[in-house]
Amino acid sequence: MSTTLRVSEIFDSIQGESHWAGYPCTFLRLAGCNLDCVWCDTRFARDPRAGAEWNVEVLAAEARNRALPTVEVTGGEPLLQPAAPELLAALLAGGQRVLLETNGSLPLDAVPAGVHIVMDLKPPGSGMAEHNRWANLGRLRPGDEVKIVCRDRADYAWARGVIGEYCLLRRTRVSLSAVAGELEAQELAAWLLEDRLDVRLQLQLHKVLWPEQERGV
């Protein structure tokens, strides 16, 4: 039996988040998620039955044939599907720059070396803070990234504390972003400047470019 994955959508877009923001990228959005963040903007991908079944090698070939140097495996939560590490390895073998966006609640041990991990840490405002898998921080490398989405000043204070407690700036890159419609990016920027916090302010570039479009961006 062929190894398969449930895929919610496949599309080409401009990378909107992380230190890779601005680069053209092929997105492989896998179906299913084990968390339910208050501000989730991809709820359509939470259903593990959404989309279609793809063979791993066929899916990797589809990404190669789209001829973009960067490909991201995202979700939902991609690591929920057992074949996700096999897909990541197949993408690496095809010569593409491979990004993995994960909610940080599942072990990273099976992620192949060479994959750029973009891992969330969930602050209290997400409603999912108890699901942070802190051991994953020890798995991150300098080319990886921690992403924290802040809903309010309390979330920002939490993020600032975690960055200091775990010495994140010595381990990896860090981005902070604001929940759209709840916290103004300008306000978050002011807090970063006030605290002289050496992290990246992240704007969701795809929402700037295509503000009315929910899928395929």
Encode pLDDT of 70-121 as tens digits: 999 999 999 999 999 999 999 999 999 999 999 999 999 999 999 999 999 9
Measured CA to CA, the distance from residue 153 to residue 52 in angstroms comes to 40
Other C-beta atoms lying within 10 Å of the C-beta of residue 154: 12
Measured CA to CA, the distance from residue 73 to residue 103 in angstroms comes to 12
Measured CA to CA, the distance from residue 30 to residue 46 in angstroms comes to 9
Q: What are the domain boundaries of the chain?
A: 4-209
- Output the six-digit token pair for 45: 């991908």
Distances (CA, A) of 162 to 35, 121, 132, 147: 21, 9, 12, 12
Q: Is the pTM of this model over 0.85?
A: yes
Q: What's the pLDDT band for 208 if we cut at 50, 70, 90?
A: confident
**Got the DSSP string for 79-138?**
GGSTTHHHHHHHHHHTT-EEEEEE-S-S--TTSPTT-EEEEE---GGGT-GGG--GGGGG
Average pLDDT over residues 56-82: 96
Q: Which CATH architecture has domain 4-209?
A: Alpha-Beta Barrel (3.20)
Query: What per-residue confidence (pLDDT) applies to 217?
Result: 58
Taking alpha carbons only, the member of 51, 56, 54 closest to residue 31 is: 51
**Cβ–Cβ under 8 Å, residues 180 and 202:** no
Query: What per-residue confidence (pLDDT) applies to 2?
Result: 54
Other C-beta atoms lying within 10 Å of the C-beta of residue 176: 25
The string of pLDDT tens digits covering residues 168-193 is 999 999 999 999 889 999 999 999 99
For 97, the 3-state DSSP assignment is strand
